[in-house]
Amino acid sequence: MAKDFPTRAENYSQWYNDLVIKADLAENSAVRGCMVIKPYGYAIWEKVQAALDKMFKDTGHVNAYFPIFIPKSFFSKEASHVEGFAKECAVVTHYRLKNSPDGKGIIVDEEAKLEEELIVRPTSETIIWDTYKNWIQSYRDLPILINQWANVVRWEMRTRLFLRTAEFLWQEGHTAHATRPEAVKEAETMLHIYADFAENWMAMPVLKGVKSPAERFAGAVETYAIEALMQDGKALQAGTSHFLGQNFAKAFDVKFLSRENQLEYVWATSWGVSTRLMGALIMSHSDDNGLVLPPKLAPIQVVIVPVFKTPEQLALISETVVPIKKALESKGVSVKFDDRDTHKPGWKFAEYEFKGVPVRLTVGPRDIEQGTIEVARRDTLEKETLQIKDIENKIVHLLDAIQSNLYQRALSFRENNTFRVDSWEEFKIVLDTTGGFISAHWDGTSETEERIKEETKATIRVIPLNNMPEEGRCVYSGKPSTQRVIFARAY
Amino acid sequence: MAKDFPTRAENYSQWYNDLVIKADLAENSAVRGCMVIKPYGYAIWEKVQAALDKMFKDTGHVNAYFPIFIPKSFFSKEASHVEGFAKECAVVTHYRLKNSPDGKGIIVDEEAKLEEELIVRPTSETIIWDTYKNWIQSYRDLPILINQWANVVRWEMRTRLFLRTAEFLWQEGHTAHATRPEAVKEAETMLHIYADFAENWMAMPVLKGVKSPAERFAGAVETYAIEALMQDGKALQAGTSHFLGQNFAKAFDVKFLSRENQLEYVWATSWGVSTRLMGALIMSHSDDNGLVLPPKLAPIQVVIVPVFKTPEQLALISETVVPIKKALESKGVSVKFDDRDTHKPGWKFAEYEFKGVPVRLTVGPRDIEQGTIEVARRDTLEKETLQIKDIENKIVHLLDAIQSNLYQRALSFRENNTFRVDSWEEFKIVLDTTGGFISAHWDGTSETEERIKEETKATIRVIPLNNMPEEGRCVYSGKPSTQRVIFARAY
């Protein structure tokens, strides 16, 4: 299984790619930049979806579905949006094919040219605000709190499985509000939901903050983001929530009659996370032995491997194991009992270890005699032999302990790789050695930000929420600064 | 709410369109033929998805995701598939836009032309079998039992909300098997799952059968289908399951080493249902007062409307109602307590009746005094006053009764509108009067089938499973026939 699998130290990038493919999470397809999400990877994504969907609904949101195509002219309506989004897109120009006159295959029917080209959605603000226009007349129609689970396409030139693909899956929330404070509050609420999900489900600590103007979403007044630190010292933007002001309402002429009987433009937010989270999840916890999954998002939380030589031994083991499986399942634990006789126990151990199954139980004939079971945990690779009595509760506690340990381990890593830096020399040294988050003073100008990016490829990841004011001097320009911001190289 | 809403008798087609729009299920978008599925409609679709997804998983299937784009050349690989599918499609020809030189908006960048055009998937057999090729070497890799929830695009010229749209949502199962009997069994299993779902969740009786060769899916050896009868006497194909033989394995060169160490082509099935089911659901049960939903698929199963004049009265009613709501919810019933003071009870009655909420509870001050509650059911529009004591169990039973009544009512309708016909004269009379299913002899030729379609627009909907052999003469040609088949005009 793990043959030819490089360590992280040897080649982090290759380690990631091989891991995704060899753990059966995803692979490249025949279409450049588009991935196939394989059943094991998709099962993790379904768990991500289910948890987030419940969090959205618990905060009053509902799901809907909007068209995959957007008329080209829609993108031109919001000035900064078109700059950010309408360029690298899949463009539909025709709606029919016909048999080739030479009898070889099919060709585009030039007579079936669209009057206006359609863009495969890279994000849906424009088509949604064009729709909201007809839904909103009065303050009684507000707020609108809608989310959509969908596929989107951005024609990326350099793609990597999950992290950057031409097509990806995501959710995009699009809300409409009567007042500015209400919209700002919504954008912040969703940021906190994303952070809650990242930390409590993915076991991935995140920094919460706002983006610098240069890093804002195209069309946003303020972009909130959660940023995580990967094991190679690079940052990964894991989710964003945008306060859009009245930009899209003005672009699509969406006004409402307020309580005070005034005609006003509607306030907006949008927010999204994508299959990119899968990349973050993989890179946060996995090790040189393969995938490591937090129990809350693991499709298989416990695997039971019987060690047997004869069908009689297997039957005896099954008598003990099947009730344990059922007892665990009744506690909401997903269990696989791999009793195949086509594969040896050693092969199975390697397989489930590589696929990141949090807990493995091994039961052989001697265990049955002694009333014991071997319990191996994936996060620490530790094994211990436990009495079978009350094993279900022990496993449930172990799963909680693994979830918690993965979070603490990732948090320690982040803490050990976050550096307060006060000189440009040190700034560059950190980037060229350990990487990590750099907390440094910045003069607040886009010019400085741009130069730092050009010289080091590091960008401002976030200006942390509730940042402490602190007098200082910009690490690059030496000009006065009022606060530290977080720099890093990023995915 | 129901103002300007035509009856079914006045204008069935208009009734359907108005119902979909006025019940907030869906609407047309700015993109020709593409719909917006609104939150209330999408909530029903989510219930459809959840029920089907569980049925698929309970029978060993797993979900995955394949690219939305298919290289044009893939369609030419399976000869009959290209004829059926590759024509009316959305074709992506370019991957970039640029600012227009005249400064007005954006135009397609002609330099960013794709070498090979990409088709937005109308169905995914080709891209999936191109992928399976790399997954299958030996019989140990089989079966593959994969389903995908996705959007697909077929460039339909005449569209109707849910029933026929350019973009729609669906699930498509694609399975790979080592033997022909196993693949045939899979196709039949899925047909039965679809029928089970239609009857037990949608409360919609269906005929199960196979399609005539002319009506088969492009690339299938056998197409199984479920057919339902709508209230206007037209048939609706609600789901199909295809035995694909080795056609796609041969087209994409997918072979496996059998247990007997022989290199053989893989056997395939595919099966799907779509948001078209929403149209079937709406037309099966709804009436001149609006939508009627079977309880199992209703986003709101019970609505509670308080009748009050003062905040004190509302507070008193809430004291009784909130515990009832909680008790119902603990039994898995979804309840909405509409205590808004911005709308009058009469408005709310009309609203929830139109939206098909199965049960309405009305509580006023006198009910509180008397310990009673008014219970109205949407299917029969009957009302009765019940003692509040044990109301939760009464409601749960009532929901079951409504589910069952809707099915029985639809079944009676179908039975009353299924006609054994033995003459061509009678065949045409039935079609021009009541419509409905016509059980008639057919000589088994595509020529006869085609002529009947040309003359009457009726098609063979299914050759029923387990059809009884019966000697007779074709209703059109008078030639010998061995069985009756089901004709109808169809959506």
Contact yes or no for B30 and A68 at CB 8 A: no
Per-residue pLDDT of chain B (491 residues; tens, 9 = 90+): 456 789 999 999 999 999 999 999 999 999 999 999 999 999 999 999 999 999 999 999 999 999 999 999 998 887 777 777 668 999 999 999 998 888 778 899 999 999 999 999 999 999 999 999 999 999 999 999 999 999 999 998 899 999 999 999 999 999 999 999 999 999 999 999 999 999 999 999 999 999 999 999 989 999 999 999 999 999 999 999 999 999 999 999 999 999 999 999 999 999 999 999 999 999 999 999 999 999 999 999 999 999 999 999 999 999 999 999 999 999 999 999 999 998 999 999 999 999 999 999 999 999 999 999 999 999 999 999 999 999 999 999 999 999 999 999 999 999 999 999 999 999 999 999 999 999 999 999 999 999 999 999 999 999 999 899 999 999 999 999 999 999 999 99
From chain B, the residues in CB contact with A76 under 8 A are 105-106
Flag if B91 and A108 touch (Cβ within 8 Å).
yes
A69:B127 CB<8 A: no
CB contact A30 to B (< 8 Å): yes
Q: What is the CATH number of domain A295-402?
A: 3.40.50.800
Domain ranges in chain A?
A: 12-63+126-285, 295-402, 418-488
Q: Measured between beta carbons, which residues in chain A are less than 8 angstroms from residue B30?
A: 67, 71, 74, 127, 130-131
Cβ contact B120–A92 (<8 Å): yes
> Using CB atoms, which residue from B38, B76, B95 is nearest to A64?
B38
Any B CB within 8 A of A155 CB: yes
User: Backbone phi, then psi, for A271, in 5-degree steps?
Assistant: -160, 145
Instruction: Report the distance separating Cα B126 and Cα B365, nearest Å.
Output: 64
A251 contacts on B by Cβ (under 8 Å) = none
| Interface contact A34-B68, CB threshold 8 A | yes
Task: Determine, for residues A127 and B29 on separate chains, whether the beta-carbon distance falls below 8 Å.
Answer: yes
Interface mutation vs chain B, best among A21, A35, A36, most B CBs within 10 Å: A36
Of B34, B64, B93, the CB nearest to A37: B64
A with B: how many residue pairs have Cβ under 8 Å apart?
Answer: 184
Tokens of B100: 């227009």
- Give the model's pLDDT for residue B220: 95
Helices (H), A201-272: 247-251
Q: What is the CATH number of domain B12-285?
A: 3.30.930.10
| Record: contact B90-A69, CB cut-off 8 A | yes
Q: Name residues 258-297 of chain A within 8 A of B (Cβ).
A: none
Q: Is B281 exposed, middle or buried (0-12, 13-18, 19+ CB in 10 A)?
A: buried
Residues of A with Cβ-Cβ distance to B42 under 8 angstroms: 62-65
A82 contacts chain B (CB < 8 A): yes
With an 8 Å Cβ cutoff, is B21 touching chain A? Answer: no
Cβ-defined contact of A67 to B167 (cutoff 8 Å): yes
Minimum-distance CB partner of B36 among A120, A131, A169 = A131
- Does the domain at B418-488 match CATH 3.40.1010.20? Answer given as no
**Are A68 and B140 within 8 A, CB to CB?**
no
Q: What is the pLDDT of residue A99?
A: 86
Long-range contacts of A363-370 (CB under 8 A, 24+ apart): A363/A304, A363/A305, A363/A306, A363/A307, A363/A317, A363/A320, A363/A321, A364/A306, A364/A307, A364/A308, A364/A317, A365/A307, A365/A308, A365/A313, A365/A316, A365/A317, A368/A316, A368/A317, A368/A320
CA gap B287, B295 in Å, rounded? 16
CB contact under 8 A, A93 and B95: no
Question: Is the Cβ–Cβ distance between B170 and B150 less than 8 Å?
Answer: yes
Is the CB of B119 less than 8 angstroms away from the CB of A97?
A: yes
| pLDDT of amino acid B353 | 98
Cβ distance of B89 and A98 shorter than 8 Å: no
CATH code of B300-404, in short, is: 3.40.50.800
| Contact between A66 and B94 using a beta-carbon 8 Å cutoff | no
CB contacts, 8 Å: A63 with chain B? 39, 42-43, 46
Of A105, A130, A342, the CB nearest to B30: A130
Chain A, window 113-142: residues with a beta carbon less than 8 angstroms from a chain B beta carbon: 117-120, 127, 130-131, 134, 140
pTM, entire model: 0.97
Instruction: Write out residues 36-65 of B within 8 Å (CB-CB) of A.
Output: 36-39, 42-43, 45-46, 62-65
B residues 314-343 lying closer than 8 A (beta carbon) to A: 342
On whether any CB of chain A is under 8 Å from the CB of B455, the answer is no
CATH of A12-63+126-285, one of 3.30.930.10, 1.10.10.10, 3.40.47.10, 1.20.140.10: 3.30.930.10
Tally Cβ neighbours within 10 Å of residue A403.
21
A145 touches chain B (CB under 8 A): no
Searching chain A, which residue's CA lies closest to the CA of residue B38? Answer: A64
Q: At what angle do helices A311-330 and A391-416 cross, to 10 degrees?
A: 70
Of B247, B327, B334, nearest to B298 by C-alpha is B334
Give yes or no for B86 touching A (CB within 8 A): yes
Considering chain A, what is the average pLDDT of its residues?
96
Find out whether the peptide bond into A358 is cis, omega within 30 degrees of 0: no
> Minimal Cα–Cα distance from A200 to chain B, Å?
25
pLDDT score, position A2: 52
* Per-residue model confidence as pLDDT tens for chain A (491 residues): 456 789 999 999 999 999 999 999 999 999 999 999 999 999 999 999 999 999 999 999 999 999 999 999 998 887 777 777 668 999 999 999 998 888 778 999 999 999 999 999 999 999 999 999 999 999 999 999 999 999 999 998 899 999 999 999 999 999 999 999 999 999 999 999 999 999 999 999 999 999 999 999 989 999 999 999 999 999 999 999 999 999 999 999 999 999 999 999 999 999 999 999 999 999 999 999 999 999 999 999 999 999 999 999 999 999 999 999 999 999 999 999 999 998 999 999 999 999 999 999 999 999 999 999 999 999 999 999 999 999 999 999 999 999 999 999 999 999 999 999 999 999 999 999 999 999 999 999 999 999 999 999 999 999 999 899 999 999 999 999 999 999 999 99
